[in-house]
Amino acid sequence: MQEFLQQKAIVTGATRGIGRAITRALLDRGATVYGLYGSDQSAAAELADQCQNAGDRLQLVRCNVADHEAVGEFYATFEAAHDTLDILVNNAGIRRDQLLALMDIDTWQRVIDVNLTGTFNMCKYAVPLMLKQKYGRIISVTSPASYLGFSGQGNYAAAKAGQIGLTRTLAKEVARKKITVNCVSPGFVDTDFIGDLSDEQRAAYRKMVPMRRFGTAEEIADAVIFLASARASYITGAVIDINGGI
């Protein structure tokens, strides 16, 4: 099914976990995907190897989404090749967990910079490209931490809550131009993003989930694909929970 044939997509945090699943799902449906990644070149090489059949429809670009100037340079390169943009997926994210009383300012700021400012930076340049054609889909990957709060994740929860506020505001600003802006909110997903958890922590978190299992990256990608499609044309400013019932 080539529902995104001739469409251009940008996915941040594209080479691992949820981002990789989203990238592959878009490619499978005909899109040209610019996959942005931070520093893990081995993961980028692995994804490129997995997606050889996509040919030049997959472009992997190293870019720090927290760096406004670097994002601007990326978009300048993108615009040199393409006049418009159809889909933006803000998936890049990091965790640096620490109790608030023990958290230093650098730990706080780094998480805000990547998760929240990175989303702003990507949207800032994407929206004008979407306005040109009066069409676009922006999907950001947030977290239940934004409203539940988890001990040691004050920085992460604040950044993810900020993503939701930004999403709902931008959705109102561009709604008349047929641009939709939404979030997906995955619960615990079995990727290397939670690879630092001990077996005891994983068991405890699994008990929090009524379905008694973690989600898969592909289950999150399915929701992103729906929101990126024409079928979701009347959904904007929404947060779609994909968390097994938390």
pLDDT at 168: 99
Mean pLDDT of the 146-162 span = 94
Whether 156 is catalytic? yes
Residue 180 has pLDDT above 90, yes or no: yes
Full 3-state SS string of the chain: CCCCCCCEEEEECCCCHHHHHHHHHHHHCCCEEEEEECCCHHHHHHHHHHCHHHHHHEEEEECCCCCHHHHHHHHHHHHHHCCCCCEEEECCCCCCCCCHHHCCHHHHHHHHHHHHHHHHHHHHHHHHHHHHHCCEEEEEECCCHHHHCCCCCHHHHHHHHHHHHHHHHHHHHHHHHCEEEEEEEECCECCHHHCCCCHHHHHHHHHHCCCCCCECHHHHHHHHHHHHCHHHCCCCCCEEEECCCC
Band of residue 197 on the pLDDT scale cut at 50, 70, 90 = confident
| pLDDT (tens digit per residue) in 53-94 | 999 999 999 999 999 999 999 999 999 999 999 999 999 999
Q: How many C-beta atoms surround the C-beta of residue 195 within 10 A?
A: 9
pLDDT at 80: 97
- Homologous superfamily (CATH) of 8-241 is NAD(P)-binding Rossmann-like Domain (3.40.50.720)
Band of residue 149 on the pLDDT scale cut at 50, 70, 90 = confident
Residue 112 has pLDDT above 90, yes or no: yes
Percent residues over pLDDT 70 in the chain: 100
- Residue from 37, 135, 156, 205 carrying the catalytic annotation: 156
Q: CA angle, corner 39, sides to 243 and 122, nearest 5?
A: 65
pLDDT at 246: 86
Band of residue 229 on the pLDDT scale cut at 50, 70, 90 = very high
Q: How many C-beta atoms surround the C-beta of residue 177 within 10 A?
A: 15
| pLDDT (tens digit per residue) in 21-33 | 999 999 999 999 9
